[in-house]
Amino acid sequence: MSNEPISLAKALASFDALWSPRIVTRVNDYDVRIAKVAGEHVWHVHDDTDEFFLVLDGELHIALREPAGERTVLLPQGAVFTVPRGVEHKPHAPSGAAILMFEPTGTPSVGDRHDDLPDHVDATTGHPLAT
Amino acid sequence: MSNEPISLAKALASFDALWSPRIVTRVNDYDVRIAKVAGEHVWHVHDDTDEFFLVLDGELHIALREPAGERTVLLPQGAVFTVPRGVEHKPHAPSGAAILMFEPTGTPSVGDRHDDLPDHVDATTGHPLAT
């Protein structure tokens, strides 16, 4: 990992793939990941970890299946939200977005359980940032 | 903790205190904290945890005492940097900045060891965000 500051704008400019998170830095045994997203991700759940989202650009919707029913939260640029562990969720971004995530190293991007994976969704624990 | 998205701009507008982090959300046993900063913090060290910084606005300098000597990294808006555990550091922001931090819940803002605390530096494990 770099021991120099990293510009998120430059990091985002270094790749084009959608729904394919890049690890920009580590904090103890957690990753800070960024991703470009557009369209629909997939319903999935992380049984053992919360998942933090910060919207760097654009607008992110996160559909949530909670005990009380299904709802969708909307995160404009500069908004943050934590999806609690065990809550099935599906991020989507009709107009595209750039996001930052904070989650334990090794957390699969499609959760521990998920719907059938569409071709455009990368199942990964995060890729290294190209340098 | 809120189960609605939080606007970082609104959260930052809800307090004025400098070097006095607010907890905006939690991710497992980690806090996501934001702070307004200006001028000098204090030399301190976290013996057991890395500390992540993202500059939301303005420009943050972090002086570091590394085995090879002392250096200062500069984080413009949109830059990220992780200070490794055990590295003595002193954030400063001559022109002011707004920052976001990830660190384990309970981490003191002035580390486990620090220089004499100036009056303008709040020694805290993070304050709740006023709602």
By CA distance, what is A103's nearest residue in B? B27
Cβ <8 Å between B52 and A7: no
The domain ranges of chain A are: 8-113
By CA distance, what is A23's nearest residue in B? B80
- Which residue in A59, A96, A95 sits closest to A75, CA to CA? A59
Mind listing the pLDDT tens digit for each residue in A71-115?
A: 999 999 999 999 999 999 999 999 999 999 999 999 999 999 899
Cβ <8 Å between A5 and B52: no
- DSSP state, A56? E
Please, are residues A61 and A93 in contact by the beta-carbon 8 Å criterion? Answer: yes
- The single-letter code of the amino acid at B109 is S
Quick check: B14 contacting A, CB < 8 Å? no
Q: What is the ipTM metric for this complex?
A: 0.95
The yes-or-no verdict on residue B131 having pLDDT over 80 is no
Cβ <8 Å between B79 and A7: yes
Q: B16 CB contacts (<8 Å, ≥6 apart)?
A: B36
Three-state DSSP state, A83: strand
Can you give the pLDDT at residue A131? 64
CB count within 10 Å of CB B103 equals 24
Quick check: A106 contacting B, CB < 8 Å? no
CA–CA gap between residue B59 and residue B53 (Å, rounded):
11
CA–CA gap between residue B38 and residue A93 (Å, rounded):
36
- DSSP state, A125? S
Cβ <8 Å between A7 and B82: no
CA distances from B46 to A19, A53, A68, B83 (A): 34, 25, 41, 9
**Fold designation for A8-113:** Jelly Rolls (2.60.120)
pTM, whole model, 2 decimals?
A: 0.96
DSSP run (H or E) holding A79: strand A79-83
The yes-or-no verdict on residue A1 having pLDDT over 80 is no
Looking at the partner chain, which of A26, A28, A80 has a beta carbon nearest the beta carbon of B8? A80
